[in-house]
Structure 1
Amino acid sequence: MGTDRPAHRDPNVLRWLGAYTASMVGDNVYYIALSWAAVQTGTAAQAGIVMSVSALPRAVLMLGGGVIADRLGPRRVVIGSDAVRCAAALAVAALLFLTRPGLWPLAVLALVFGTVDAVFMPAVGALPARITGKGQLARVQGMRGLAIRGASVAGAPLGGLGVALGGAATAFALAGLLIAVSVPLLVSVRVRELPADDTGGAAKRATPWRDLREGLTYIRRHRVLAPLMLAIALGDLGFVGPLNVGLTLLAEQRGWGAPGMGWVLAGFGVGAGAASLLLAVRGRLPRAGLVAACAILGGCVAIGALAYVPNLVGAVGVAVLIGLLAGLSGAMCGALLQTQGEPAYLGRVTSVASVVSLGIAPLSMPFAAGAIGAWGCGPVFVASAATCGLGGVVALCVPGLRRAELPR
C-alpha cells in the first residue's frame, strides 16, 4: 500500500480525500435544501423541529456506531452510509418533484441522516489509520480539515444555486448526486488489514455490548486518550456557546447585523483553515500535547476578549485568532486521537469524542442564551472562556498528554 509515502502524494489517500470532500459538499447542500424546504412548507417552529430531528439519533446512537465501525470495518460502513444518504436524498427529491407532501418526508429524511451519521462519523474517524501509516496521520488530519473548510465554502452557494434553479427538489437531487460521487471512490480505496494480535478483542467478542465496554475501558485506562477526552469535552463546552448563539446575540447588541456576523464567522474560518493548512504542509508539529494545551489556553483568552472588542474590524481580527488557535488545538487533538488509539479501537474512540462534541457540548447553547439575556455577553463569554481554559489546564497538568508526540 505504500504507507510510507507522503499522504498528499499517495493516490490511495487522495481517493479517500476526494470521496470525503464530495460527501461533505453534499452534506452542506443537503442542509441548505432541508432548511429551505422546511421553512417554505411549515411554520418557523415546525421548521426548527425538522432541523433538530437528526440530533437525537446522532447523539443516542453514536457509541453504538463506533462499535459497528470497529466490528464491520470503517470502509464498509462509510460506503454503506453514503449509499443510504444518497438514496434518501434522491427519494425525497423525486417526491418533491412529483407532489407537495408536507413536512413528514423532510422529518423522515432528517431522522435517516441523523441515524446514519451515528455510524458514519465514527467510521470516518477510524478509516485514515487503515489507509496510511501512523507518521502520515497528522498530515491527513490537516488535509481533512481543509476539505471540511472547502466543503463549507462550496456547499452553501451550490445549495443556493440548486434552490434558485428548481427549488428544494433540485437542491436535494444535487446533494444526493454529490454524495453518490463518494461511493465509487471509496470502493477503490485499499485498506490495511489489522494484524491478528491487533483486533480489539475480536477473537473473544460475544456481543456488541461487550465491545462497547471494552472500548470504554480501553479509553479510561489509556494515559493519553483519557485526559484528552476530558480536555476536548471542556474545550467544546466553553467554545460552542459563544461561537454559535453568543455570536448572534453579540452582533445584535453591537449593531453589526447579519453581514457583520458573517464577517466574523469568515474570520474564524480563515484562521481555522490556516491551522489545517499548516498541519497538512508540515505533516507534524513537535510536542503535540504541549502545543494543543497552549493553543487551547490562548484560544480561551481570545474568546473572552471577543465580547469586549469595540468595533467590527477588531472583532474580525480576534475571530481570525480564535479560528487559528481553535483550529490548531482541534487538529492536534484529532491527530493525537488518530495516532494514540489502536486502529482496532478507533471507531469507538472517535464515537466517544463525537458524543462529547455533538451530543454534550450543544447542550450549553440554551444556557448561554439565557445567561446572556440575564447578565450580558461579557460575563458569559468570560465564563465560557474559563471553561474552555480548563481543558488546556488538564492538557498541561497530565504528564502523559503534555508529553505526547506525533509519530515521525
Structure 2
Amino acid sequence: MVPAGTILPESATKPAYRDGNVLRWLTAYTASLVGDSVYFVALGWSAQKAGGPTEVGLVMAAGALPRALLMLGGGVLADRLDPRRVLLGSDALRCLLILSVAAGIALTSPALWTLVAVALVFGAVDALFVPAIGALPPRITSPDQLARVTGMRSLSVRLSQIAGPPIGGLAMGLGGTAAAFTVAGLLFALSLPLLLTIRMRPLDTRGEERSEPGTAWKDLVDGLRYIRRHRLIGPLVTAGAVCELGLTGTLNVGMVLLNAERGWGPSGYGWIVSGFGAGAAAGAMLLTVAGRLPHAGLMMAGTLFVGCVGAATIALVPALWIAVVLAVVIGLSAGVFGSLDNALIQTAADPAYLGRVTSVVMLTMVGLAPLSYPLVGAAIGAWGAAPVFVGCGTFAGLGVVIALASGAVRRAELPLQRPSATA
C-alpha cells in the first residue's frame, strides 16, 4: 500500500482512464466543478431575492474581478508551493465559505452587500484553485498520458455544465437557496479526501535553465518571460487568447441576440447551446479514448479553422436546424482544438512553470474574453448579428495564422504512448 502523497517513480503506466490515481483526481475535480455550478445557481437566485436585475448582474460579476486580478498571482503560488497543497487549501476555504453562507441564509435573509462579499471572496479563492489544478496533471501521470488526461478534464467540464444547474435547481426546489448552498459546500467537501489520496510523481526539470526563486513579483515576470520565449508555448497561448477574444462573446452574448433576431426564441437557443455542448463533449471524448492524435499541431490549427468558419457563418444560415448542425460542428472543433492546445502546452512546459502558464491561459478566458461581451452586444444592436459574427469569426481566424506561422506548432506532436502496465 502506497501512502497518500508519496512521490512515485516514472514507470510503465496504465491508460489514464484505468489509473486510480488519475481517476481520484478527476472525481475530485468533477465534484468541485459541479459544486461551482450549483454555487452560481444559488448565488444568482439569492441576489434575485435581494434586489432587481441590476443587482443580480452586480453580484454575478463581482467574483470575476478578483479572479482576473489575482489569477497570475495564483499561478506564482502554485509554482512556489506544492500545487496539491494549494488545491487542498483553496478547496477547504471554498467549502467553509459556502457552508457558512448556507447556515447564514437558513437563519436570515442575506443582504445584497453580503452576497457581493461572498462573490468577491469566492473569486479570490478561485484564483488560487484554477492554476493549481492546471499544474497538477504532470505530477500525477506520465507525459504520454497527459493528452488523455486533458481530454478527460475537458469532458468533466462539459458534463459538470450539464449536471450542475439541474442539481442546483432541484436543491432549491426542495429546500431553497440554503439547501443549494449546502449541496455546493458538500460537493467541495467531497473533493477534499480524494485530493488527499493523490500520489505525486517526481518533478521533471528537463534540464531547462531557469532563474533562482526570488520574490513573488520576480517569479511572475520570470514566468511571463518563459512563455514569451518558448518556441511552442508562446504561439499556442497567443493563438488560444485570440480565439477566446474572437469567439467567446459571439457564442455567449451574440447567440442570445441572434435567436431573438431570427425569432427562434429560448427553445432555439437551447437547441443551439445543447448542440455546441454535445459537439465539445465528443471532441473531448475523442482525445480521451485515442490518447494521442497524429500531427497534433496541424490538427489543432485545422480544427480551429473549422470552428472559426462555423462561428462566422452560423448567423447567415436560414433555418434553425442548420444552425444546430453548425453548432455541433463548432463544438466538436472547439473540443478537439482546446484539448490539443492544452495537451501540447502541458507536455511542452517545464512543470516548474505550469502554474504560471495555466494562470495566463485562464486569464484570457475569465479576465480578457468577457471584456468583449458589451462590445459584441453593442455591435449587434447597431449592425445586426450577421456582420458581427462574420467579423468575430474572422478575427478568431488570426489564431490559425499565428499557429501556422510557427514552425514549432506545425511540427508539434504529442508523446508516443508507452506500453501499459498489466497490474
Q: Same fold (TM over 0.5)?
A: yes
Give the AA of the match of 1:30.
Y
Deviation of the 1:105 alpha carbon: 2.2
1:4 maps to: 13
> Structure 2 counterpart of 1:380, which letter?
V
Please tell me whether the aligned partners of residues 92 and 105 of structure 1 are also in contact (alpha carbons under 8 angstroms): no
CA distance in 1 between partners of 2:129 and 2:410 (Å): 30
Change (3 A) 1:341 1:298: same
Deviation per CA, 1:387-408: give whole Å up to 9, x if none: 1111011111211111111111
Distance verdict in 2 for CA 1:190–1:112, change over 3 Å: same
| 2:165 corresponds to 1:174 | no
Aligned to 1:336: 344
The 1-side partners of 2:238 and 2:189 are apart by 36
1:41-98 CA distance string (max 9 Å, x none) = 1111011100000111111111111000001111111111111111111000000001
**Among candidates 58, 62, 65, match of residue 56 of structure 1:** 65
Q: Does 1:359 align with 2:367?
A: yes
The question of 1:380 aligning with 2:388 is answered yes
Structure 1 Cα separation of the partners of residues 395 and 204 of structure 2: 41
Q: Which runs of 5+ in 2 are unaligned?
A: 1-7, 417-423
Q: What is the percentage of aligned positions where both structures have the same residue?
A: 55
Q: 1:205 aligns with which of 209, 213, 217?
A: 213
How many correspondences in the alignment? 407
The amino acid that maps onto 1:216 is: L
Q: Is the 8 A contact 1:198 1:344 kept in 2?
A: no
Which residue type is aligned with residue 301 of structure 1?
Answer: V
Could you tell me which runs of 5 or more consecutive residues in structure 1 were left unpaired when the two chains were aligned: none
Query: How far off is 1:305 after superposition?
Result: 1.1
- 1:254 corresponding residue in structure 2: 262
DSSP 3-state at the match of 1:391: helix
* Partner secondary structure for residue 23 of structure 2: helix
Q: 1:162 aligns with which of 155, 168, 171?
A: 171
Give per-residue Cα distances to partners, 1:230-286, cap 9 Å, x unaligned. 101111111111101100000101111112101100000000000000000000101
Q: Any residues of structure 2 matched to 1:269-284 within 5 Å, and which?
A: 269-284=277-292
- Spell out the pairing of 1:8-407 with structure 2 (5 A cutoff): 8-194=17-203, 201=210, 204-407=212-415
Alignment partner of 2:179: what SS? Answer: helix
352-361 vs 157-166, which moves further? 352-361
TM-score (norm 1): 0.97
Amino acid at match of 1:163: M
By percentage of residues, which structure has more helix? 1
Q: TM-score w.r.t. structure 2 length?
A: 0.94
Considering only aligned residues, what root-mean-square deviation do their CA atoms show, in Å?
1.4
Segments ≥4 residues shifted beyond 3 Å: 195-202
Output the CA distance in 1 between the equivalents of 2:377 and 2:207. 46
Give the distance between the partners of 2:250 and 2:256, measured in 1 at CA.
9
Check 1:185–1:243 CA distance in 2 against 1; reply closer, same or farther (3 A cut).
Answer: same
SS at match of 1:332: helix
Assess, with a 3 A threshold, how the Cα gap between structure 1 residues 195 and 268 changes in structure 2: closer, same or farther: closer
Distance change in 2, residues 1:226/1:104 (3 Å) = same
The answer (yes or no) to whether the contact 1:3–1:131 under 8 Å persists in 2 is: no
Greater shift, 270-279 or 111-120, is seen at 111-120
SS in 2 for 1:309: coil
Counterpart Cα distance in 1 of 2:235 and 2:261 = 38
Contact kept? 1:3, 1:132, Cα under 8 Å = no
